[in-house]
Amino acid sequence: MSAGMVVRRLGGGLLVLWLVSILTFLLVQLIPGDVAEVIAGENATVAEVARIRAELGLDKPVLEQYVSWFSGVLQGDLGNSLFSNRPVSSTIIEAAPPTVIITLMAMAVAVVIGVTAGIIAGLTQGSWIDRAVSALATLGIAMPSFWLAMVLVSLFALANPWLPATGYVDIREGFGVWLSHVILPATSLGLATSAELARHTRGCVADVLTRPYVRTARARGASGPWLVRRHILRNAAIPVVTVLGLQTGRLLGGVIVVEAVFGISGLGSLAINSVLQRNYPMIQGYVLFSAVVVVAINLIVDLAYGWINPKVRTA
């Protein structure tokens, strides 16, 4: 992939983030209720509310408010929480690790299970394995992650006390302990995505198998693992990577529910509490953080295309 292309993609990503910043800012202006009234509390006088409004700069023109807010954002200042009065950015950074790690592990689960099952099913079309994978994938897509989480907890934590049912432990307290706390949330979050990936991978492998270049490779004497690795997987990977990128957003949304089921205090509970309390700076910070993650992942997906598909590299 040429440097110019990386710059273009990067520029596109930044543009998206800027647009998201506008929407995030307008969020506060658009939803009903006055921030100053929320902060002041139910028994505040009109004068008190007006004072708070002036303090927050809410009495200024919208554009001016945006410019001052956005210049703060550019310097990493997302404002302070309306309740704890702590900076939003450090609150998010403190809450992020369990969420990010569970999401990444869920993605790993999804890729390992989904892509493997999809490849096997695609290569053995019509076999009982293929049919089993298709049936399980449909089931997996239909199952909500919170229900799956509860089933997994009752099976692997309550009926058989192998894994902890709730909580999160930092990896610095030991890899084994950390892993035991991550497995169940990551699996319950990742299985639906693995089902989606399995179906896609199966379809892509089946499609590539009909391509003339696979016949050519066979005519050269290629077969078995050689044929699969060199001629089928790389070509089938292109659409699968797209789906994986799209699924990231879904995982980031789903992790909120999974955190709630497993009693993990990460970004999910932070987001839910902020919404319930109308803690606007926190909500804005969370939305911006999510947008950055999604844009970054899509950028990685774009760069991965260039690596997988030589046509993109030179385009």
Contact status: 217 vs other proteins (CB under 8 A): yes
Q: Which stretch in 49-57, 70-78, 283-291, 306-314 sits in contact with other proteins by CB under 8 A? A: 306-314
Length of the chain, please? 315
Q: Which stretch in 86-94, 178-186, 225-233, 283-291 sits in contact with other proteins by CB under 8 A? A: 225-233
Q: Which stretch in 13-21, 92-100, 112-120, 307-315 sits in contact with other proteins by CB under 8 A? A: 307-315
- Helix (H), strand (E) at residue 259: helix 234-262
Contact status: 218 vs other proteins (CB under 8 A): yes
Shortest Cβ 200–other proteins spacing (Å): 18
Contact status: 127 vs other proteins (CB under 8 A): no
Q: Pick from 186, 231, 251, 282: which binds other proteins (CB under 8 A)? A: 231
Contact status: 308 vs other proteins (CB under 8 A): yes
Name the residue nearer to other proteins (CB basis): 234 or 278: 234
Q: Which stretch in 23-31, 226-234, 255-263, 287-295 sits in contact with other proteins by CB under 8 A? A: 226-234
- Helix (H), strand (E) at residue 114: none
Residue 70's Cβ-count burial label (10 Å; 0-12, 13-18, 19+) is: middle
CB of 166 closer than 8 Å to CB of 269: no
What is the CB neighbour count within 10 angstroms for residue 77? 13
Tokens 């934590």 -> residue: 157
- Token pair, residue 157, equals 């934590």
Shortest Cβ 218–other proteins spacing (Å): 6
Contact status: 131 vs other proteins (CB under 8 A): no
Shortest Cβ 309–other proteins spacing (Å): 6
Contact status: 229 vs other proteins (CB under 8 A): no
Instruction: Give me the helices (H) in 41-127, please.
Output: 46-56, 62-74, 88-109, 116-123
d(CA 243, CA 29): 34
d(CA 154, CA 284): 36
Contact status: 219 vs other proteins (CB under 8 A): yes
CA dihedral 164, 168, 170, 175 (to 10 degrees): 30
Which residues in this chain contact other proteins in the complex, by CB under 8 A?
A: 210-213, 215-223, 226, 230-231, 234-235, 308-311, 314
